[in-house]
């Protein structure tokens, strides 16, 4: 039964994403407070599903791919929900947003071209960016705007997307949980890499 907790947390995040989107669509009262709570729960589920999967020895490639895919769906739902609430922010920052979204799409294009699979690198940089993305979305959800955090989120997002592309190009075969470019280089040379038991084991 315990072994099913990680996958339950992954699907919980999927459900939460659609709930946030629905609540934004119907413009529920006090949406911002409810959405922030649900987004926070979603982030915590993202943190602990991997930790528990590794702890329970159920961290398979299939599970990590599912985790990555549902992460994407969750944040897409939250971003669309945020757009429905605060379209002005998106109109004012559409160029930055297109560049950021394009860089994310490019990582998947490169991965599918090379490996015929989606990415699941779960790099340390990507995890850091997720925290900035979460914080930025919370700020926009609460206040309707974000300046400094959004700029940080943009540049960290671009840098980490470029790192992911570099990791994909360096690897000889598809591999999940690659912490960094340096780890990818070691894997390419057939060497073992150091993995963190909590975050990248």
Verdict on whether the full-model pTM lies above 0.85: yes
- For 110, the domain range is 87-201
Q: At residue 201, does pLDDT exceed 60? A: no
Q: Do both 102 and 201 map to the same domain?
A: yes
Q: At residue 200, does pLDDT exceed 90? A: no
Q: Do both 56 and 80 map to the same domain?
A: yes
Q: Do both 41 and 106 map to the same domain?
A: no
Kindly give, in sequence order, each residue whose CB lies less than 8 Å from that of residue 200, ignoring residues fewer than 6 positions away.
122, 124, 177, 179
Tens of pLDDT along 123-162? 999 999 999 999 999 999 999 999 999 999 999 999 999 9
Q: Do both 81 and 92 map to the same domain?
A: no
Q: Do both 75 and 105 map to the same domain?
A: no
Give the total number of structural domains in the chain.
Answer: 2
Q: Do both 49 and 98 map to the same domain?
A: no
Q: Do both 180 and 152 map to the same domain?
A: yes
Cα atoms in the Cβ-side hemisphere of radius 13 Å centred on 68: 19
The four Cα atoms 143, 25, 66, 38 give a dihedral, to 10 degrees, of 50
Q: At residue 197, does pLDDT exceed 70? A: no
Tens of pLDDT along 26-63? 999 999 999 999 999 999 999 999 888 888 888 888 88
| Residue that is last in its domain, among 85, 109, 127 | 85
| Residue that is last in its domain, among 63, 85, 107 | 85
């Amino acid at each position: 039964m315990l072994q099913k907790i990680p996958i339950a947390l992954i699907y919980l995040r999927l459900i939460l994403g659609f709930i946030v989107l629905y609540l934004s669509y119907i413009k529920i009262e006090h949406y911002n407070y409810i959405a922030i709570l649900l987004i926070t729960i979603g982030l915590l589920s993202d943190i602990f599903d991997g930790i528990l999967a590794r702890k329970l020895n159920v961290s398979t490639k299939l599970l990590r791919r599912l985790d990555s895919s549902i992460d994407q769906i969750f944040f897409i739902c939250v971003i669309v929900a945020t757009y429905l609430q605060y379209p002005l922010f998106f109109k004012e920052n559409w160029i930055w947003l297109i560049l950021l979204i394009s860089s994310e799409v490019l990582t998947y294009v490169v991965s599918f071209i090379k490996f015929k699979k989606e990415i699941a690198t779960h790099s340390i940089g990507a995890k850091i960016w997720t925290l900035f993305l979460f914080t930025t979305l919370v700020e926009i959800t609460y206040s309707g705007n974000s300046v400094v955090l959004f700029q940080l989120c943009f540049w960290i997002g671009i840098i980490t997307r470029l790192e992911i592309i570099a990791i994909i190009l360096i690897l000889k075969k598809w591999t999940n949980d690659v912490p960094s470019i340096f780890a990818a280089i070691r894997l390419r040379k057939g060497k073992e890499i150091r993995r963190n038991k909590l975050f990248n084991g």
